[in-house]
Structure 1
Amino acid sequence: MYVVSTPIGHLDDITIRALKTLAAADAIFCEDTRVTRVLLDRYQIKTRLFSYHEHNAVKQRPKILERLEAGESIALVSDAGTPLVSDPGYKLVEDVAAAGIAVFPIPGASALTAALTTAGLPTDTVVFLGFLPQKGGPRRRRIETFARQPTSLVLYESPNRLAQTLIDLADICGPERAAVVCRELTKRFETVVRGTLAELCEAFPTDSKVKGEIAVVVGPPEEDTTSEEDAEALLAAALERLPAGKAAAEVARVTGRERRDLFQLALTLKSAPPGGDEA
């Protein structure tokens, strides 16, 4: 089985090897046959298309395995970019490999790497978050999990949720954190907007009309140079006007320290008797 990368927008972004593989395969399994047909027609490839997506995967996997075991060559593609990168397919690859059948990657375009290379932010260590949860609580908790890690963050987002996601990122990661919004990469209306998270919130307000495929890159946090004593003093001051959770979040944004560690310290400070431990 061949896992084939296809263009994320511009149809010329297809490798020669990918074209040869798609033309030689006995069948191509894709998310939407209408989308993949546009690519095949562009390069006059006649290989038959079959759908494989999250809604029919359980039904289709045994059929694909049966064809592979019969000696057929199968190509797996997504609507755009590299399959399995925030797309369905990993379970199929897992089952195919478990059956002792070889799986070959055919590298190519990916919105993840395209966004990273144009963002101008550190790429030595990167965490890919895919699509964040749609609901606010789970989305914020996911961001909190990775917000203080010394790494750039990359995520995909729906145009309808971009503004709120930027607000959550600014609130949790800090408004001065560097970030980039990439929209419609490689397509006609490609746009790349750079700035702090606060500036991006202004560029994409909640009432803005945004369209297209979007990737967001958030740079790593500033290195923490705050002493233990200063962090504790900031937290104690915040606790005078905020509950423990919000105080910890505020100090985390200012210092770059882990929110969970600050929250535990906040609970300790709140439970300590006035004037310290002296009798």
Structure 2
Amino acid sequence: MRLLMVLFLVGLSAMSGATNALSQYKSYENSMLSNFGSGRVIRASSDGTTRWILYNEGMLGYSYARLGETFLHSADIGYSSYIMSVSSMRGVYPYVGVEITVPIYIREKGNSNAFATAPTDLPGGSKLLSETGFNGWGVQLPVVIGLQTKSFYIQAMGGYAYHSIKDIFYKSATENDWSLTNTYQGIIYGAGLGIRMRNTFSFGLRFVMGDLNSTLRDPEQPGLQTYIRAKDFQSHYWRASAIFGVVF
């Protein structure tokens, strides 16, 4: 019986110690984040001068892009996760992470990149039907390396992009529009800058570019197949974006 009592008291002591440790950590984290907004403290140096804070950020935005001879408008959904090094001895904070963006293409104009020769079956040739609607989607996944001082940040970006874009063409007043689906993918690089207000809300600008490979050109109507490029090719790509984010 005495042994059971001793074990019981030891267990209570351990639980109390764990509760106190958790309470002290939360107090430390809240004190730390009072100066650096949202986020989570994941590590501190032994001398207490440097800390690493994990941030996550959800984003909405708008982009305007050019891909070869095609111009694209998109509504964007994004998410980023990054670790920031915070030192008590300086006011510039480096960070590294990833930033994923999913553009939903809502309008395109210009000309299709898919044709070797202009289709004679279409009154506008390779000219795209410029109407607002769903024209495809994409995903961009760059690694980001940046610096933040006070509310201002600047970052370098480099990674991978994939886009599935539907080209739509006017056929006639009595026939349905014709279309084909393109797939582009490749390496992108660029930069971004913006402000983070107490690391809670953010507004930023992004610019990325690269040469993307056209790996699929799939016409909905067989009549277009004769004019489509048989071999894969590259098209130059650039994209300018404005984003609004919430940091958590």
TM-score range, shorter chain: under 0.3
Task: Give the structure with the higher percent helix.
Answer: 1
Task: Give the structure with the higher percent strand.
Answer: 2
TM-score, length-normalised on structure 1? 0.24
TM-score, length-normalised on structure 2? 0.26
